[in-house]
Amino acid sequence: MKILSWLGAFALFLAVAAGTSSVLQSRFDATPAATTTALAPVSRTAEGTMGRSTLAPSARPAAQAKPKPKPVAAPIKAAAPRLAAIVVKSTQQALINQDRARYGLRPLTWSSCLANVAYSNAVRMANALRMWHTNGASLDLGCRLGSHGGENIGYWTGGVNDTKLNTMFMNSPEHRANILSPYYHYVGTYWRVASNGTAYIAVEFS
């Protein structure tokens, strides 16, 4: 009777041990599966499935740099032509440029070629003791300073007097037209005192 009781207790022990092993095996098999399932959505989210990248910034698609617009070169302005410096070599020329400035005209610069023509005409008149035109305007064109040429001549019995002659020229329509012509850019003047003290002047334009 004791032997049967002992065998029965041993059988019960084996049954309990087998049940415990089954429960433990079930728990170890379920844990990895549950872990894998729980991480999957996070992994997909990190890969950008939902368009988010907060969990894996390194997985963000590289931003494409926008091409910078090429700098546009500023238009180059054409340089204004440099004007020759104005050379003044006589009082009569200075007065003429003052007259032109009052009317918004550019000053006339000195021309040695025109001054030579003026010299020849002033000497001719002083030697003859009278005033008249010859070929002054034609000789002015020979200086090749432009396509226009002109001449003003005059005299003053009291000797050289630029202010008086300039006033006389400006009061004469024909002489004034030469002084204020927009076609002239050069001038040359010369005074010559005759044997009787009268001074003759020639003013050449081009």
DSSP state of 59: G
DSSP state of 28: H
Residue 81: is its pLDDT beyond 80?
Answer: no
Rounded to 10°, the helix 162-170/91-102 angle is 40
pLDDT band at 65 (very low <50, low <70, confident <90, very high): low
Q: Are 93 and 110 in contact (CB under 8 A)?
A: yes
pLDDT band at 15 (very low <50, low <70, confident <90, very high): very low
Residue 35: is its pLDDT beyond 70?
Answer: no
Beta carbons within 8 Å of 136's beta carbon, 6+ residues apart: 117, 121, 151, 153, 202, 204
Among 1-5, 39-43, 93-97, 116-120, name the one with the lowest average pLDDT: 39-43
pLDDT digits (tens, 9 = 90+) for 129-145: 999 999 989 999 999 99
Angle, alpha carbons 8-10-16 (nearest 5°) = 105
pLDDT band at 34 (very low <50, low <70, confident <90, very high): very low
Prediction pTM value: 0.61
Distance CA 120, CA 166 (A): 20
Residue 31: is its pLDDT beyond 60?
Answer: no
pLDDT digits (tens, 9 = 90+) for 166-175: 999 999 999 9
